[in-house]
Amino acid sequence: QSALTQPASVSGSPGQSITISCTGTSSDVGGYNYVSWYQQHPGKAPKLMIYEVSNRPSGVSNRFSGSKSGNTASLTISGLQAEDEADYYCSSYTSSSTFRFGGGTKLTVL
Amino acid sequence: EVQLVESGGGLVKPGGSLRLSCAASGFTFSNAWMSWVRQAPGKGLEWVGRIKSKTDGGTTDYAAPVKGRFTISRDDSKNTLYLQMNSLKTEDTAVYYCTTEAVAVASPVFDYWGQGTLVTVSS
C-alpha cells in the first residue's frame, strides 16, 4: 500500500501562511474524517498537531488548522515562525482497519 | 505525565528475530489501544500494527509488509507493549516508535509517542 501523496517540500517567510496537501482515495482520506497531522523535528519523535481533519489537541497553537475536500486533506500554518521548520506527515485511517501515512513534507522557513 | 520507553533494538542478521518492548506509564495502560510505527533512515513514517485493549477484544491488525512475520502483544500487569519481529529483512531497518491511540483524544490517532529504538538488519 503506497503512501498518501504530499509535496516533498514547501517554504515560506516568517509571518506568511503555507498549506500542505495530502491526497488519498475514497478508502481512506475521502471515506473517513480520521485524518491527522504530525510535526517532526530532526532527531525527535513525531507530535500530533491536528486530528479528525480539523481539531487541535490541547496545547497546539491555533496557527495550525486543517481541512478536507474530497480525497484531499490540507494543513495550513499561519503566521509562520522559525520553530515551525520541520517535517510534516498526514495520516488517515482506512477501510482495511489500517493506517496510511503521507510521504512527508519538509517545511523550510526562509 | 505519559511516558513511553522503547527498548530492545539493535543489530540483527537477515532472517533473524528481535523483540522490542515499550514500558508505559502516566495513563491507564490496560484501557489503551497501542500501535507501533516505524521510520526507515531518512524516510517517512510507516504504520506497523496495533493491538486493542483486552476490554475491546485484544485483537491485532498489521500492515501488509509485516503481516505473518511480526506479532504485537501486551502484558497489562507490567504496563508493557511488545513487538516480536521474525524473519527480518534488510528493509525492516528503521527506528521503531511505540505510540498510544486515543488516550489524549477520543479518536484513532497516535497521540503519544516514545523516543524510538533503532533496529538494523544487516549481514
Per residue of chain B (123 residues), what is the pLDDT tens digit? 999 999 999 999 999 999 999 999 999 999 999 999 999 999 999 999 999 999 999 999 999 999 999 999 999 999 999 999 999 999 999 999 999 998 888 888 999 999 999 999 999
pLDDT at A1: 64
Contact state of B61 with A97 under an 8 Å Cβ cutoff: yes
pLDDT at B36: 98
Total beta-carbon pairs less than 8 A apart between chain A and chain B:
66
Residue in B closest to A91 by C-alpha: B109
Cα distances (angstroms) measured from residue A41 to each of A1, A83, B81, B92, B93: 26, 9, 25, 22, 20
Which ranges constitute the DSSP H helices of chain A? none
Closest listed residue to residue A36, CA positions, set B52, B106, B51: B106
Residues of A in contact with B105 (CB under 8 A): 48, 51-52, 55, 57
If you search the block for the grid coordinates 549481514, which residue do you land on?
B123
User: Rounded distance, CA A46 to CA B30, Å?
Assistant: 23
**pLDDT tens digits, one per residue of A12-63:** 999 999 999 999 999 999 999 999 999 999 999 999 999 999 999 999 999 9
pLDDT at B103: 85
The mean pLDDT of A67-96, rounded to a whole number, is: 97
User: Rounded distance, CA A54 to CA A64, Å?
Assistant: 9
Other beta carbons within 10 Å of B48: 22
**pLDDT tens digits, one per residue of A88-108:** 999 999 999 999 999 999 999
Kindly compute the dihedral angle of the four CA atoms of residues A30, A32, A34, A36, in this order, to the nearest 10 degrees.
Answer: 0
Contact state of A48 with B104 under an 8 Å Cβ cutoff: yes
Q: What is the torsional sign of CA B92, B23, B51, A4? A: negative
pLDDT at B100: 95
Q: By three-state DSSP, how is residue B56 classified?
A: helix
If you search the block for the grid coordinates 477484544, which residue do you land on?
B57
Kindly compute the dihedral angle of the four CA atoms of residues B3, B110, A74, A80, in this order, to the nearest 10 degrees.
Answer: 0
Any chain B CB within 8 A of the CB of A103?
yes
Quick one: cell of B59?
485483537
